Amino acid sequence: MSTDAGRLAIEGGPPVRPSFLPFHRPSMGPEEEAEVVDTLRSGWLTTGPKTQRFEQEFARYLGARRALGVTSCTAAMHLGLVALGIGPGDEVITSPITFPATANVIVHVGATPVFTDVEPHTLNLDVKQLEARLTPRTRAIMPVHFAGHPCRMDALMEIARHHRLAVVEDCAHAIESMLHGRHMGTWGDVGAFSFYPTKNMTTAEGGMVVTANAELAERIGVLRLHGISRDAWKRYGHQGYRHWETLSAGFKYNMYDLQAALGLAQLPKLERFWARRHAIVEAYDAAFGSMPEIGRLAVQDSVRPAYHLYVIVLRTEELSRSRDEILDA
């Protein structure tokens, strides 16, 4: 009789599941199909009426004044820094636990990323260490709401305003996240969101910039499409031709209607998606709660996490295997 059944898969035993478990699979249905087909049949594929609708509905969901659709969260953060005038010689404080894009956009504008350590219980920027990292060259802070858990934006904004620093929030993980009932992305000068396929809602690729500052919104709207004063819908839409000017050297960062069509179908489902992830988190909490080998991130008071990622902390002193051996298993 085989004894393999009692062995771990990495030691030759049977795997827990016969097929690969994907990191994420987007949730799509007939609503997404209908919106995309409607867009294809409309003849208007680039930035147009559906992009405008999606921007308005996303802003309404967050309680934000303005939202501008772009090609990615990376583009959103880049545009935010450029519009705020961050550039060569400046320093921007950010988190070391993030996707490379957060630091990359700081480098792309010619500034220097300055990493501040994180809280061990949230993996977010440790606000208590922020002021020690300030120098005369510090111009901005880029907090990352890691795994969908909100940073302490109330305390962070107090420091930022006291030192007259701009704040660009990396909300790639944090569409549904709130602190004191207020959505992430609406605390700082600019909020940047991601609709990549692995995110809590998707437009295949895409992102959104939100801001309460009308002047910043105007500047970002121009910068996202080659620096010209009108997008294609405003130049050639149903209202007829309108003159336009090139106002500055801009980028090709505009969201288009095929992306927005997916967003319009996904956004009404977002709270249902969140409720499902919350239930899964509760199941994981129950399963791991009695395991001394595994630590979990803390959910702080007055916080609503987006539950984008479920993070565990391995207490390796309690384990006979290394972290990488567990990952390989």
Nearest CA to 173 among 139, 204, 207?
207
Beta bridge partners of 138: 91
Q: Is the dihedral of CA 45, 49, 53, 58 positive or negative?
A: positive
Distance (Å, whole) CA 173 – CA 9:
32
Nearest CA to 200 among 311, 312, 275?
275
Q: Rounded to 5 degrees, what are φ and ψ at 2? A: -70, 140
SS3 8: coil
Q: Is 199 known to be catalytic?
A: yes
Nearest CA to 259 among 197, 204, 196?
204
Which one of the listed residues 50, 128, 199, 269 is annotated catalytic? 199
Query: What is each CA distance from 136 to 63, 88, 90, 100, 129, in whole angstroms?
Result: 34, 14, 9, 25, 16
- Buried-state track 37-55, b at ≥16 Cβ within 10 A, e below 16: eebeeeebeebbebbbebb
Active site amino acids: 199
